[in-house]
Structure 1
Amino acid sequence: MSKTLTQLACQRVQALTPYLSARRIGGKGHVFLNANEAPKAEQYELDCSRLNRYPECQPPEVIRRYAAYAGLTADQVLVSRGSDEAIELLIRTFCEPGEEEILFCPPTYGMYSISAETCGVGMRTLPPLPDFQPDVPAILAELSRGKPIKVLFFCSPNNPTGTLVAREKLIPILEATAGKSIVVVDEAYIEFCPEASMVDLIRHYPHLVITRTLSKGFALAGLRCGFTLANPEVINLLLKVIAPYPIPEPVAQIAAQALSPEGLDTMRSRVAWLNRLKAELKAELAQQPCVQSLFDDHGNFLLARFDSGSALFAAMVDAGIILRDFGSKPMLENCVRITIGDEAEMAAVLDVLKRL
């Protein structure tokens, strides 16, 4: 008897549970605050005269402008299809399937595990400390156990807790992993707290890698454009693995405009506006009886612990407001994440909260 098409797939793919992005989860409503997207889009120009040609693998103007923005040189920057592709490239480049593993500290971004599973690479997880900082002694001890840990992922600001990895926590890990592992700091939300970036440490620790994106502060989630910042040796290794034409021509054109001086000014104005709305929402949430506690606020979202997260989530759904329920994640019982939207969207959230 012939096998079904599903049975023909790799065993690891058959067993894989896909990452439940906000779009896959869906939901019926008119206010979507579940994907950490910017509330408004900008307008860009598009030159279609080159669409008959394959694009550059690494568009020079995009690379040049992002390097200038990040304070690096062009040979320290790689552009990819979102930082999700960067995560998978790092695993594919540095981990032997079945022989080496990655390490991360949940609750955190779900694509670290999905990318590892897709690549057939094992995972090691360690819970963070109660303040959601990495447990450095536990991590250092784990490095000497079992299969080699080749890539360590730290999200800062962390999604969904909003926590920043403290520099004094990261440096001992960098010291211990030199010559043994790649340490990745995922800075997808760094535009909302640029002073907290670890990018300056790349010159001291050649195995440190920073991943970035245009999805959040730049309001270009639909563009799928991300960056890897690392020393040139790492970048050259990733260039061996990345697809020949990863960045479509329209993406390159829009990314270059977003990274122009005018585009950077627009981004910074947007971030200031969203940070102000976030501070206002946090102050209001702190006054609500149903809110038990509020987490750090270093991204474009707030995570809050409610008396009943499921009841709060359901009440929002009834009002057409879709948030993200994290109550099933470790250490996050009754926690719901709220993306910072515009003034009207934040007012709608508060209206429901005040009626609970």
Structure 2
Amino acid sequence: MLAHLEATAPKASWMRRVLARGDLVGSLVQIALVAALAGGAWYIVSSTMANLSSRGITTGFAFLSRPAGFDVAFSLLPFTSASPLWMALLVGITNTLFLAVTGMVLGTLLAFAVVSFRLSKSPLASGLAAGYIGLFRNTPILLHLLFWYFAVFAAMPNIRNGLVLEDAIFLNNRGLFVPWPQLSGWGWLIACVLALLPIAASRWMRRQHPTSAFARIDLSLLLGLVLFVAVVVIAATSWEVPVRAGLGMRGGALVIPELMAVIVAMCTYSSAFIAELLRGAIQGIDRGQTEAGQALGLHAGAISRLIVFPQAIRVVIPPLTNQYVNMIKQTAIVAAIAFPDLMLIMGKTVLTQTGQAIESLMIVTSVYLIISLTAAGLMHLYAAKLKAVGQR
């Protein structure tokens, strides 16, 4: 009877049997999706190439060997209008890296000060820090950048009426002019090496005597800065002092208003976000850890430095990585005040001058991607190192 029912039961259709195999259906869907993406990419590339060919625009990266034909207001590398465009690309990359690293370092240091006020027992200090964080977290960075540039630094008095300190330091609407030491390459190298010695010594001291004052990273950084300045002052053969020359300035080192506005805006803006990340990590530490430090006779500073902060840093690394990557991408906003970063040089000036839109934007995209992934990778390596140290 059972065999007769099985023989007379309607067999499942071919489509139903295929649908029953979910793995096959999934594979077919993925193949169709890849084919659609490939077809769309081919259509975009072919139509773009056809449009460029009809307009007589050549493709490729040979344009990078042409003379730049323009100057930049700020460059860490030697650059003139006769330099090739690939050199302009390097200038844009170094300027972007300089802004990103400066913003990360100064923004993090400022964030530690803000979070210390935020966690203070004083209602006034805590309220001021909360207002500071709320102001910067709920307003766009472009607003702060434009404020610092147009309302503060670009609105400074002219050269004749600007601020002067000891006839050596000048602050006006052209920027900040300061004396610059005439020092050989070896002198700068020795100054940098001596500045790193206190930091290395503090790391060794933390392993030997963690509660010693010499183990404090903040004191080692301060001592390293003092050594750097001392070596530069002693080893300098002469100093190039800025002086007024007609309607302009001559000599010394110049910090342009765009750079000052960018650094102040990025540091203050990012410090608010980093401070909140640090506050959440610190408050997430079990209070029993602090009470254990008090039971051992440690003072509040040692408890924060040796117990609270090391654990909070492990917790804050992942969100802090996201914040640092966002800061790298936020550097592109400085093109709004004509600071010569990667976006302004390659994404606007070179693109407009050569007409190589695809190549220029491809270079900009690739550079930002590489920098962001490198920064994220370094932060992940640091987090893994902290985790390995904590498991010992």
Relative contact order (C-alpha < 8 Å, sep 6+): which is higher?
1
Structure with bigger gyration radius: 2
TM-score by length of 2: 0.21
Higher helix share: 2
Higher strand share: 1
